[in-house]
């Protein structure tokens, strides 16, 4: 959860293994992730294993102040964390993609995708009609590994609401791979 009584709006509080936290209280979480300077953080959170190390990684969007997605690779242990830490990955919109509310919707797409064993992160912008698929790797996610799905990939028309929802639907054709 984030925000709440006594918590800054730019903080994600995490209770590990226990809904009420190991200390028995929601008001004192096991772990906290801070995003200094964010006006509303996180807007969306997606969890996946982007570097295939067996630990959950968190992607969190800041759509208002920086138009970025911050990725913290797991394991995320107890204590204080910050999106300004050296090991945090910052994803930015690729050239030609709107920065307007980048990270408006996000979804972690589980491996395997066509045999690739790293989870992918799908990120949308609000008004640009784009879905950016970032490919995982041993280093996590990168601004150098992505594919852009846009309205032109389909019929070229103005597809109102094209990227308004991103969802994982599973193995639709029964070939053992996610579609």
Per-residue pLDDT tens over the stretch 111-159: 766 566 889 999 988 765 788 999 999 999 999 999 887 766 565 555 5
**pLDDT value at 86 more than 50:** yes
**46-50, 74-78, 115-119, 130-134 — most confident range:** 46-50
65 in Cβ contact with 103 (< 8 Å): no
Answering whether pTM is above 0.85, one says no
Tell me the two tokens of residue 56. 């959950």
Least confident of 12-16, 89-93, 155-159: 155-159
Query: Is the CB of residue 9 less than 8 Å from the CB of residue 41?
Result: yes
| CB proximity list for 64: less than 8 A, separation 6 or greater | 38, 39, 40, 43, 101
Query: pLDDT at residue 168 above 90?
Result: no
Sheet holding 57-62, edge to edge: 45-48, 57-62, 68-72, 89-91
What is the C-alpha end-to-end distance of the chain, expressed in Å? 30
Determine the pLDDT at residue 164: 62
47-56, 116-125, 127-136, 164-173: the lowest-pLDDT one: 164-173
Q: Are 79 and 56 in contact (CB under 8 A)?
A: no
């Amino acid at each position: 959860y984030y925000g709440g009584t006594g918590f800054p709006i730019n903080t994600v509080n995490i209770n590990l293994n226990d809904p009420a936290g190991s200390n028995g209280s929601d008001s004192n979480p096991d772990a906290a992730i801070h995003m200094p300077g964010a006006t509303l953080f996180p807007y969306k959170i997606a969890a996946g294993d982007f570097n295939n190390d067996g630990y959950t990684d968190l992607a969190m969007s800041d759509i208002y102040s920086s138009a970025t997605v911050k990725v913290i690779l797991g394991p995320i242990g107890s204590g204080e964390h910050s999106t300004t830490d050296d090991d945090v990955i910052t994803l930015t919109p690729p050239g030609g993609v709107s920065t307007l509310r980048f990270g408006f919707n996000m979804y972690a797409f589980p491996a395997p995708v066509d045999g690739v064993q790293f989870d992918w992160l799908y990120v949308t912008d609000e008004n640009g009609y784009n879905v950016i698929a970032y490919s995982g790797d041993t280093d996590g996610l990168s601004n150098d590994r992505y594919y852009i799905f846009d309205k032109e990939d389909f019929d070229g028309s103005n597809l109102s609401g094209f990227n308004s929802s991103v969802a994982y639907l599973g193995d639709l054709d029964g070939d053992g791979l996610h579609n």
